Structure 1
Amino acid sequence: MRLEGRSSGQGVRSQAEGDGAVNGTSKKRVAVVGARGLVGQELCSLLLRHPTLELSHCWSTQELTGDNSNPVPGAPAIQAWNGGAGVDAVLLATPHGASAQLAAEALDQGAVVIDLSGDLRIKDLALWEATYEQTHPCPGLVDMAVYGLTELARDEIKNAQLIANPGCYPTSVLLAVKPLVQADLLQPDATLISDSKSGVSGAGASPKASTQYANVHENFYAYGVGNHRHAPEIQAHLGGPKIMFVPHLLPCFRGILSTIYVQPREGLGMKEIHAALSEQYAQETFVRVLPAGEQPSLHAVQNTNNCLLGVAAVSSGVVITSAIDNLQKGAAGQALQNMNLALGLQESEGLL
Structure 2
Amino acid sequence: MTANIAILGASGYTGAELVRLIATHPSMRITALSADRKAGMEMAEVFPFLRHLTLPRLQKIDEIDFSGIDLCFCALPHATTQAVVSKLPRDLKIVDLSADFRLRDAAEYEKWYGQPHTAPDLQKEAVYGLTEFYRDDIRSGRLIAGTGCNAATGQYALRPLIAAGVIDLDDILIDLKAGVSGAGRSLKENLLHAELSGGTHSYSAGGKHRHLGEFDQEFSKIAGRPVLVQFTPHLLPMNRGILATTYVRGDPATVHATLAQAYADEPFLRVLPFGALPSTRDIAGSNFCHIGVIGDRIAGRAVVIAVLDNLTKGSSGQAIQNANLMLGIEETAGLMLAPVFP
TM-score (ref. length: structure 1): 0.88
Q: Give the structure with the larger helix fraction.
A: 2
> What's the counterpart of residue 19 of structure 1?
none
Q: How does 1:35-114 map to 2 (within 5 A)?
A: 35-60=10-35, 62=36, 67-70=40-43, 71=47, 72-73=50-51, 74=53, 75-82=55-62, 84-108=66-90, 110-114=91-95
Paired residue for 1:307, among 258, 264, 289?
289
> What's the counterpart of residue 178 of structure 1?
159
Paired residue for 2:191, among 211, 228, 237?
211
Which structure 1 segments of 5+ residues have no match?
Answer: 1-25
Say whether the 8 Å CA contact 1:165–1:335 is kept in structure 2: yes
Paired residue for 2:171, among 172, 191, 194?
191
**How far did 1:161 drift?**
0.8
Which structure 2 segments of 5+ residues have no match?
Answer: 337-342
> What's the counterpart of residue 27 of structure 1?
2
Q: Does 1:253 align with 2:239?
A: yes
Distance 2:291 2:89 in 1: 36
Matched residue SS, 1:143: helix
- The letter of the residue matching 1:47 is I
Distance 1:251 1:34 in 2: 25
Distance 2:101 2:280 in 1: 29
Say whether the 8 Å CA contact 2:138–2:144 is kept in structure 1: yes
Q: Does 1:282 align with 2:282?
A: no
Distance 2:122 2:167 in 1: 33
Distance 2:163 2:85 in 1: 31
Q: How does 1:263-278 map to 2 (within 5 A)?
A: 263-264=249-250, 269-278=251-260
Matched residue SS, 1:102: helix
**How far did 1:63 drift?**
5.5
Distance 1:338 1:104 in 2: 21
Say whether the 8 Å CA contact 2:33–2:59 is kept in structure 1: yes
**How far did 1:41 drift?**
0.4
Distance 2:56 2:240 in 1: 25
> What's the counterpart of residue 232 of structure 1?
213
Q: 1:252 to 1:63 in 2, by over 3 A?
A: closer
Distance 1:166 1:63 in 2: 26
Distance 2:154 2:269 in 1: 13
- State the Cα deviation string for residues 171-221 of structure 1 (Å, max 9, x = none): 100011011111222223x23110001011011111111111112211011
> What's the counterpart of residue 18 of structure 1?
none
- The letter of the residue matching 2:167 is L
**How far did 1:104 drift?**
2.8
Distance 2:87 2:159 in 1: 33
Distance 1:76 1:234 in 2: 38
- State the Cα deviation string for residues 218-245 of structure 1 (Å, max 9, x = none): 1011011131111111221111432011
Aligned length: 319
TM-score (ref. length: structure 2): 0.90
Say whether the 8 Å CA contact 1:107–1:113 is kept in structure 2: no
Provide the aligned C-alpha RMSD in A. Answer: 1.4
Paired residue for 2:118, among 137, 146, 170?
137
> What's the counterpart of residue 305 of structure 2?
321
**How far did 1:246 drift?**
0.6
Say whether the 8 Å CA contact 1:277–1:289 is kept in structure 2: yes
Say whether the 8 Å CA contact 1:261–1:318 is kept in structure 2: yes
Distance 1:151 1:103 in 2: 25
> What's the counterpart of residue 202 of structure 2?
222
- The letter of the residue matching 2:288 is N
- The letter of the residue matching 2:80 is A
> What's the counterpart of residue 103 of structure 2?
122
**How far did 1:111 drift?**
1.5
